[in-house]
Amino acid sequence: MSTATTSGRAVGTALGRALGRAVRHARQGLFAPAPARGLALARIVFYGGLFVLYAGHDFRLWGEVGPVFWRPLWPLPTDVPPPPATLVAAVSLAFKASLLSTCLGIATRWSAALAALAGLFTLGLPNQWGVTFHTDAPIVLLLLVLAFARLGDDLAFPPRRRPRAAPAADGEYRWPLVAARLTLCLVFLAAGLSKCLAGGWDWIASDHLARLLLKQQVTSRPWLDWGVMVAAQPLLYHGLAALTVAIELAYPLALVWRRARPLLVTGGVLLLLGFAALVGPRFAALAFAHVWWLPWERLTAGGTRGR
């Protein structure tokens, strides 16, 4: 009895220590000082890239669609009418303008908050007509997370007349990088787990992928018509199915396993390209969001490598 109690305590103590180490490690990973320059450059690239991606997209057209198609989803009540065209036009313009002003560092905190809220409306609106698309959902999550970050402490516009010394390295400039990467990890992990839960082993071992590739040839618009060829090669489609699930489940390791990061992140981007090429959905913005994996925290104001 006393031996069991003693060993139970020992296990509890060991678990407590392991948990404490994990928390310390997570805190260090999230909040260790990083230079403001890295986050500022990431801001310029990410928001500038999103502006380029969405600038040509005419969201105003959603204000012209007939109410017969309207089917609002959570969190909107089912009886809410579609938004008027003028509101759609104004908010979508605000979305694009706020992406650009965040990129340029103009009133960055307000711009980033506006980009998140206007993005929630603008990118969420196309899902209120009966079909939920998942291509832009990660971008909205990223914008919401980044709205709380101090993105404009460096490389802001217009430059100050009497420039102060460059902001000191701080945890404020590291956690947004980690949070953005965590958001991307959650997307891939959720997709992998969904396949395991809904399809199980059959997702890989059955001819599911072959049927899916054939189906998408006639119901979607993949870049390539190779689906028919792949569907005729069991070894190939079983291998691709296994690789897909493996990449999605292993992707979050990129957060903690720095050596494997290039392989896992490249695998994630190639997977998104593979979806577009063989299955159809285009995750252009999500693929672009992988810029958050660049080692921004190693950049310092002088251009040398930091911690």
Site for another protein in 244-283 (CB under 8 A): 279, 281
Closest to another protein by CB, 104 or 142:
142
Could you give the string, one character per residue 191-230, with x where binding to another protein holds by CB under 8 A and - elsewhere? x-xxx-xxxx-xx--xxx-xxx-xx-xxxxx------x--
Closest to another protein by CB, 104 or 212:
212
Query: What is the three-state SS of the chain?
Result: CHHHHHHHHHHHHHHHHHHHHHHHHHHHHHHCCECHHHHHHHHHHHHHHHHHHHHCCCHHHHHHCCHHHCECCCCCCCCCCCCCHHHHHHHHHHHHHHHHHHHHCCCHHHHHHHHHHHHHHHHHHHHHECCCCCCCHHHHHHHHHHCCCCCCCCCCCCCCCCCCCCCCCEHHHCHHHHHHHHHHHHHHHHHHHHHHHHHCCHHHHCCHHHHHHHHHHHHCCCCCCCHHHHHCCHHHHHHHHHHHHHHHHHHHHHHCCHHHHHHHHHHHHHHHHHHHHHHCCCCHHHHHHHHHHCCHHHECCCCCECC
Question: Residue 109 is which amino acid?
Answer: R
Closest to another protein by CB, 104 or 154:
154
Closest distance of CB 169 from another protein, Å: 11
Closest distance of CB 196 from another protein, Å: 8
Residue 248: closest CA among 174, 187, 158: 187
User: Please, is 123 exposed, middle or buried when counting C-beta atoms within 10 Å of its C-beta (0-12, 13-18, 19+)?
Assistant: buried
Residues 77-116 that bind another protein (CB under 8 A): none
Closest distance of CB 147 from another protein, Å: 11
Closest distance of CB 127 from another protein, Å: 6
Residues 119-158 that bind another protein (CB under 8 A): 120, 123-124, 126-127, 129-132, 134, 136-138, 140-141, 144-145, 148
The footprint of another protein on this chain (CB under 8 A) covers a number of residues equal to 76
Residues 62-81 that bind another protein (CB under 8 A): 62, 64-66, 68-69, 71, 73-75
Piece in contact with another protein (CB under 8 A), picked from 9-17, 40-48, 107-115, 232-240? 232-240
Closest distance of CB 107 from another protein, Å: 21
Closest to another protein by CB, 82 or 105:
82
One residue of 11, 52, 87, 232 binding another protein per CB under 8 A: 232
Closest to another protein by CB, 48 or 126:
126
**Chain-centre distance of CA 187, in angstroms?**
7
Closest to another protein by CB, 91 or 279:
279
Residues 3-32 that bind another protein (CB under 8 A): 26-27, 30-31
Closest to another protein by CB, 43 or 181:
181
Is 184 a binder of another protein (CB under 8 A)?
no
Residue 139: closest CA among 281, 249, 284, 294: 284
Closest to another protein by CB, 104 or 252:
252
CB neighbours of residue 188 within 10 Å: 24
